[in-house]
A and B are shown apart, each in its own frame.
Chain A
Amino acid sequence: MSIPSVQTPFKRFISEYVERKTAVFAFLLLVFVLLTAFLGPFLTMQNPYDLAQITIMESGLAPGAESIDGNTFWLGTDDQGRDLVSAIVFGLRISIMVGIISGVLAVVIGTSVGIVSAYVGGRIDNLIMRVVDLFLGFPSFLIALICLAVLGRGADKVVLALVLSQWANFARIVRGVAIAEREKEYMDAARGLALPKSRIIFRHLLPNCLAPLIVVATMNVAFSITLEASLSFLGVGLPITQPSLGLLIANGYEYILTGKYWLSFYPGLSLLITVASINLVADRMRDVLNPRMKK
């Protein structure tokens, strides 16, 4: 191999990552999406949920139409005169927030349970894995649906439902990895030094599982965003006061038959771009970080 040995792992990661052009493009796209989601709401022409800023006079306008005060509705307006660009930017922020929080939380909880289970072993491990199996017996979509049926609507409840529906996956994966790692020499060394259990777990075991975890966590954020959108689309996810992209699409659904396609097309496109860019970045990260995981 011609790769010089002086490179740090991080530099090496970057240099291998950029070998694939689509992956670089996906990364730039993701940066753009994130910037839009977090800075966009300060730049849009209106706050689409401030009733004082919208007028029914401008409802149902096609993309490119001009507003009364001379602005352009690049993607048109909805039935209440909301600028669709603004609505998408606000919706994107909600979707991404819910996705990141629940996606990362599920990985963190799943990982902790998995590592503890693997390290403690014995009866507790057995019990935990039974619970995990119970969760894994059901598709995550169904678990989330039932959770929301129990909990009702709301952003916090959606996050809880998403975490509950996915943590078990990671607990299972991580437990497998951790058990394999536990048998390796450096763990024997750590035990030999009589380090406390918690220190062994967090300072020695965890860092060695970290690389694959970052990849699954990234992919899980994408999956959480899609899942939340599906649930909100069905009307069991976020309330109308917190319109994510899924709700925007659901609203547009009603107008599709009357030809106002843009109301569901553009929010969906934004959702697709978001999820696809995350997935492409994660896919490349996986290839670079661990060639053996390349399936």
Chain B
Amino acid sequence: MTLFLIRRLQQSIVVLLVMSFVVFAGVFAIGNPIDSLISPEATEQEREKAISQLGLDQPLYAQYFVFLKNVSRGELGTSFVHNRPAIKLILERLPATLELTVAALVFAIIVGIPLGLLAGLNTESLIGRGILSSSILFFSLPTFWVGLMMILLFSINLGWLPTTGRGETVEIWGIHASFLTLDGLRHLAMPAVNLGLYPLALIIRLTASGTQETIPLEYMKLAKAKGLRRRRIIFIHLLKNIMIPIVTVIGLQFSVILAFAVVTESIFAWPGMGRLIIDSINLLDRPVIVAYLLVTVVVFLIVNILVDILYSILDPRVRLGGM
């Protein structure tokens, strides 16, 4: 286990280094941010001064080494726009984004697994077929449009839920969280459901197909032959087996959902990293984009390691040391 973790950390650092260069080089190509920072009336001299102050006159590799050196000290540069450390800007907003992402996944799992089971156990019935075809529909729904329609229905027409912000938050371990207050939950509900629709469809289909494939297997027959109650057969024997592919896919989906949170955050004015990154792209705020990408990569890597560990817990045939 320890060996596995060490090896994975080494791999992660390599990936991070490669990514940092790709990201840096990519963002370098974005164009000169100076035009959007300096007023058009500035003199040539002021312009030069600003450029050298920001280090923009150095060649690419020099800028990258400066960048690497700063990264190792935990500095990712200062936002051109906000004039604050970029990493701080991102980290301030990371918890809100993570909360939204995790809430969306939890929603998808809590709703998706029972529905998938229902569909998988009753493939012939109307319910089962209905669940499966509506999951195709969920795949096709444009997330952002559904978000708008939810606002239209639940906020404007029914007046049940607020449209913007996180609502009241509670501080735990120095991080603000919405899900612990009623007001926060009311704010969280719509964005989380909106963001969770796609993984919901995925989990329903995975669970349903997993169920269909597992039911005719011999060990399910033995479970019945042993006189176990149906509840135990389904929730222990069946579910523990189909959880293995589901966990894998959820792990892969985490990064997809984290990325798509950008859209949901824009619609519901959720104060996460999403809105910030869109603004930064439009204003070419290079350090913030880089910080966002690197933080995201770190989150991906952590999630991947967690998934591997969870996988080995769920499937005893997998041994982490051998990987």
Contact = CB atoms under 8 A, between A and B. Distances in A.
Contact flag (A, B; Cβ within 8 A):
yes
Interface of A: 22, 134, 137-139, 141-142, 145-146, 148-150, 152, 222, 226, 229-230, 233-236, 246, 249, 252-253, 256-257, 259, 261, 264-265, 268, 271-272, 275-276, 278-280, 283, 295
B123 interface: no
B241 interface: no
Contacts of A259: 156
B144 A230 contact: yes
A88 B223 CA distance: 56
Nearest to B300: A137
Given A256-B151, A265-B149, A139 B140 contact: no
9 contacts: A137-B297, A146-B27, A146-B293, A149-B284, A226-B142, A249-B142, A268-B142, A268-B148, A295-B206
Contacts of B63: none
Range, interface on chain B: 35 or more
B64 interface: no
B209 interface: yes
Contacts of A280: 136
A268 B262 contact: no
Q: Among A142, A226, A264, A280, which residue has the most Cβ atoms of chain B within 10 A?
A: A142
B156 A257 contact: yes
Contact of B142 (A234, A256, A261, A271): A271
A280 B135 CA distance: 11
Interface stretch (B170-178, B229-237, B252-260): B252-260
B142 A229 contact: yes
Contacts of B137: 276
Contacts of A137: 15, 19, 297, 300
B6 interface: no
Given A150-B29, A272-B145, A134 B18 contact: yes
A142 to B, nearest CB: 4
B141 A272 contact: yes
A271 B145 contact: yes
B138 to A, nearest CB: 10
B62 interface: no
Interface string B150-161: 011000100000
Nearest to B141: A272
Contact of A234 (B22, B206, B209, B263): B263
B12 to A, nearest CB: 11
Contact of A150 (B30, B139, B156, B296): B30
B278 interface: yes
Given A145-B281, A234-B263, A272-B145, A261 B255 contact: no
Contact of A256 (B136, B148, B256, B260): B148
B43 interface: no
A2 B137 CA distance: 33
Given A235-B278, A235-B282, A272 B142 contact: yes
B289 interface: yes
B74 interface: no
A86 to B, nearest CB: 20
